Chain A
Amino acid sequence: MSAHAGNLSPGQLPAWIDIGVLPVLNVAMALIVAGIIVALIGADPWEAIYWLVQGAFGSGYAWGYTLYYATSFIFTGLAVAVAFHAGLFNIGGEGQAYIGGLGAGLVALAGDSFLPAPVLLPLAVLGAALFGASWAFIPACLQAYRGSHIVITTIMFNFLASALMVYLMVDVLIEPGQMSAHSREFAETAWLPTMREMLGLVGIDMADSPLNLSLLWALICCGLVWVFIWRARLGYEIRATGLSPSAALYAGIRPARVTLIAMALSGALAGSVGVNEILGLQHRLLLDFVAGAGFTGIAVALMGRNHPFGIVLASLLFGALYQGGAELAFEIPTITRDMIVTIQGLIILFSGALAYMNRPWVARLYQYIATRRSGAGVPAHG
């Protein structure tokens, strides 16, 4: 490795700066701007951080909520990342998650009267993935065969998902005799066991929280995505297409096929949010249960640099922000939970859109230090 470090051209930096220093610097800048906003509205940023951390990690109950939020973000973060690797920007995670929840809910509503849980739950998980995948598959087909831009079509499909769900919940699936738009509650065979129940089986006591088995499924998905993207032939084709569509085409990779597969997988992952929300927590179909998780996935993927490990870390941060933010809003009423939305936007700005802003001066600083250390004007070994 160090043999290469000495041969870096002026534009290149050692991997630990590109993967370690720059991303942390970008997130730090986003958090500093957030701190300035908090100070501007007359609150103490340090006190805010204290309540945020306290709210997110201060008790078993807090941990449960933090991890429950993180679960959804792992799914949507992976969804954005898989599409990114193919050079596609899937903005439609929100809609795919919504429709994924519908898939899980329909399976649960259809089968909870006669199927036992060990059969029903895997079917419902599959339903979420399939419905999410198909909602992403249509824009993928339009991109692959008709040349319509995936960013625009996935945005449109978010709104279409929302309209479809309003129609289904208000006019079709609504619980008879009820005014509010939600379905009947599923029978308990369709409830995904909570972590508290599962850990209770092996004698570990845990505070009650919405955290459920979906977290395990999310972590398994991380592993599967890693194997698929970096160890499987199809994953190689996806990455090759993302890096250089023309080179991939020349190598005999069919771009249309890559678009379809990457988007279907992306949609299936986003759809799995429905497992966490519908099977894990709500136990019925309802409106707006995705609550922005699809958009958080964009921030998570950018921050985690599209790698499952980074995505788990970023999801944990956002889970902590969501849960801690609720506590923070309670302790310091001038800071509402919308501050978390702002931080999310700032992280997308600094880690995504302005990702290259800091690179030139960090590169100059590195060159300067390296040159001084070697003392001869030749870039030093890293």
Chain B
Amino acid sequence: MDDLFYLGISTLAATLRLATPLILCAMAGLLSERAGVIDIGLEGKMLAGAFAAAVTAALTGSPYLALLAGLTIAAALSLLHGLASITYRGDQVVSGVAINIIAMGLTVVLGNAWFGRGGNTPDLNPEQRFMPLQLPGAADLREVPLIGPFYADVVSGHSLLTYLALLLVPLIWFLLYRTRFGLRLRAVGEAPAVVDTAGISVLRLRYSAVILAGLLCGLAGTFLAIAQNAAFQREMTAGRGFIALAAMIFGKWRPWPAFFACLLFGFLDAVAIRLQGAVIPGIGPVPVPLIQALPYILTVILLAGFIGKALAPKALGRPYVKER
């Protein structure tokens, strides 16, 4: 019984850790897509951000400079996405695919040229990384039954970036639904012509949304490279950008549902890791690939309209052409 309790605690803690990059990227995708710009490139921006953060941390030793570098590079890629899909009205999906592939290749090319470790960056010391924080009283309360371990291991013990990700969800909800900027951002994804008629720049709004999305992806990448891990490894995002995209759709392009979808997908990931090789008596080995595939299966079922209807923003994917 006790073992089961501690297994539950450690799974919940892992859920939060694994959900952090998903939450950040899902919020990124949400901002971009609510403004009408498809963002397939979450994966690539996160990967580039992770690489920039790991390189900067290795060279300067400062995790804060590393964070800055991660944010900058991911935002720069977002700017490229904006240039292609907003200014030059290119295909937004194609642009996202290009960014993913360029990030996948270039991080390894540069990493190998600079450090010669097959694309990985040097291992970082604890002081070069964002380490788990102990919240006040975590050690003292550990002995309290039930609540103690929960507080000490699930609530406490995460890196600064995880807490930041959790804080960003209500902030983004507030930004989207309670500010003038948010109202305009949502309007530009539904009916850009109306926004334009009101004398507000569609281009500027879409660029702001896309760059905010880049910053969030950079945060996610920084978390992966210098908080969850201690170095950059080739293709270390491993499809998380697409799971985040699925979570965003699963949450029907709304912050809180998307957040819970991220927690669900993070939980599935945590469970899958723990059940690797486990055997259910009488049934056989746990089908771990099935658990890992569940986020994708659930998203497809949702998209097919079997769990409510996921309606995308109306102007999603359509470049805005000003009438003359």
Chain A residues near B (Cβ < 8 Å): 37, 41-42, 89, 91, 142, 146-149, 151-153, 155-157, 159-160, 163-164, 166-167, 170-171, 295, 298, 302, 334-336, 338-346, 348-349, 352-357
Residues of A close to B102: CB separation below 8 A:
342, 345-346, 349
A153-B303, A338-B108, A345-B102 known; A160 and B93 CB under 8 Å?
A: no
Q: How far is the CA of A345 from the CA of B249 in the complex (A)?
A: 26
> Is A348 touching B97 in the complex (CB atoms < 8 A)?
yes
Most buried by A among B38, B108, B293: B293
* Smallest CB gap from A156: residue in B: B296
> Is A89 touching B84 in the complex (CB atoms < 8 A)?
no
> Is A148 touching B300 in the complex (CB atoms < 8 A)?
yes
Min CB distance A293 to B, Å, is 13
> Is A349 touching B95 in the complex (CB atoms < 8 A)?
yes
7 nearest interchain CB pairs?
A341-B105, A342-B105, A345-B101, A345-B102, A353-B95, A148-B303, A41-B113
A298-B97, A348-B97 known; A355 and B303 CB under 8 Å?
A: no
Min CB distance A295 to B, Å, is 6
Which of B105, B287, B292 is close to A345, meaning CB atoms less than 8 Å apart?
B105
Q: How far is the CA of A336 from the CA of B299 in the complex (A)?
A: 36
> Is B109 touching A37 in the complex (CB atoms < 8 A)?
yes
Please, what's the 1-or-0 string for B293-310, where 1 marks a CB less than 8 Å from any CB in chain A?
100110110011100000
What are 24 A-B interface contacts by the 8 Å CB criterion?
A: A89-B94, A149-B312, A151-B93, A152-B303, A156-B242, A156-B246, A157-B296, A157-B300, A159-B239, A163-B296, A164-B293, A166-B289, A167-B290, A171-B285, A336-B109, A338-B105, A339-B109, A341-B101, A346-B98, A348-B97, A354-B88, A354-B90, A356-B89, A357-B90
Which of B88, B112, B249, B304 is close to A146, meaning CB atoms less than 8 Å apart?
B304
Q: Does B268 contact A (CB under 8 A)?
A: no
Q: Does B110 contact A (CB under 8 A)?
A: yes
Chain B residues near A (Cβ < 8 Å): 38, 40, 80, 83-85, 88-95, 97-106, 108-110, 112-114, 118-119, 234, 239, 242, 245-246, 249, 285, 287, 289-290, 292-293, 296-297, 299-300, 303-305, 312
Most buried by B among A142, A151, A295, A338: A338
A152-B303, A334-B112, A338-B119 known; A160 and B106 CB under 8 Å?
A: no
